[in-house]
């Protein structure tokens, strides 16, 4: 299969196929910099499926912290793969729904899951808790683990208890896939999830520190920053070794 949506096997009555790029550029409350990113880095933004209780046998979930009434599945074709985190931040903030976001460039895809919670100061709004991406997968040249992961996305492999359990199931599969880079398999647990989150935080810190080192002109300060960078890399290595054990 070279169409990522085929792996999800979503019932046709959930089909939406709504083109959103023009709406986002012309009507959404975006900053000019955000509009620039969407305009220059995306070819199309399409809401492919809307899953709700009227269309599929999954009940909504609501409590004081979470609101999972329905789930959107969107596909974004991108020109620039380096901008997907910024694009995700824009899309996930604009739409007050849990979204399975699929980035695509030719036959390469990356899936983004972003859990959200209710904003305590404005309960009509949701705010992002955290965000998770898969590495890029070439649908035309998949490894065995990549193929197993893609097949696990089938809607029939997810719990129908409620939309929180349903969405969280996809999150767990992404975490399992990401940890497979270090463990060599798709088995995971809560500890592996926490370790992966720590690795992602460290990778962000490493990137920020590298950019800071490039701009630093004082020799002594640059030396100190490089020492800090080595400590972060050692810490990241230690977490990776835990995943391999």
Q: For the chain, which residues make up each domain, given as ranges?
A: 4-183, 190-244
pLDDT tier for residue 10 given thresholds of 50, 70 and 90: very high
How many other CB atoms are there within 10 angstroms of residue 54's CB atom? 9
Residue 108: CA atoms inside 13 Å, Cβ hemisphere, count?
Answer: 9
CA 11-13-14 angle, to 5 degrees, is 75
pLDDT score at 2 = 63
Beta pairing partners, 109: 104, 137
CB–CB of 243/182 below 8 Å? yes
Listed range (17-21, 48-52, 181-185, 207-211) with the worst mean pLDDT? 181-185
pLDDT in tens, 142-164: 999 999 999 999 999 999 999 99
Which are the contacts of 112, defined by CB distance < 8 A and separation ≥ 6? 84, 88, 92, 99, 100, 101, 102, 103, 131, 132, 133, 134
pLDDT score at 238 = 87
CB–CB of 113/170 below 8 Å? yes
Asked whether the predicted pLDDT for residue 1 surpasses 60, the reply is no
Q: What average pLDDT score do residues 111-131 get? A: 78
pLDDT in tens, 41-86: 999 999 999 999 999 989 999 988 898 999 999 999 999 888 999 9
Strands 99-105 and 108-113: what pairing? antiparallel
Q: What percent of the chain has pLDDT over 90?
A: 55
């Amino acid at each position: 299969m070279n169409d990522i949506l085929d792996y999800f096997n979503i019932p046709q009555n959930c089909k939406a196929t709504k083109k959103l790029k023009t709406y986002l550029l012309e009507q959404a409350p975006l900053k000019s910099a955000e509009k620039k990113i969407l305009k220059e880095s995306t070819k199309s933004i399409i809401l492919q499926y809307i899953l709700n209780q009227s269309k599929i046998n999954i009940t909504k979930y609501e409590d004081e912290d979470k609101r999972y009434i329905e789930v959107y599945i969107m596909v974004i074709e991108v020109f620039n793969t380096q901008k997907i985190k910024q694009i995700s931040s824009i899309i996930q903030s604009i739409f007050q729904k849990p979204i399975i976001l699929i980035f695509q460039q030719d036959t390469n895809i990356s899936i983004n899951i972003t859990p959200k919670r209710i904003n305590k100061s404005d309960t009509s709004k949701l705010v992002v808790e955290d965000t998770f991406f898969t590495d890029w997968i070439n649908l035309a040249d998949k490894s065995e683990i990549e193929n197993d992961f893609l097949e696990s996305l089938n809607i029939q492999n997810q719990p129908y208890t409620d939309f929180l359990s349903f969405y969280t199931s996809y999150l767990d599969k992404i975490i399992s896939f990401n940890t497979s880079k270090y463990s060599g398999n798709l088995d995971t647990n809560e500890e592996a999830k926490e370790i992966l989150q720590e690795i992602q935080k460290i990778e962000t810190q490493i990137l920020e520190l590298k950019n800071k080192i490039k701009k630093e002109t004082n020799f002594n300060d640059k030396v100190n920053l490089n020492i800090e960078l080595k400590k972060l890399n050692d810490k990241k290595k230690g977490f990776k070794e835990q995943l391999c054990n």
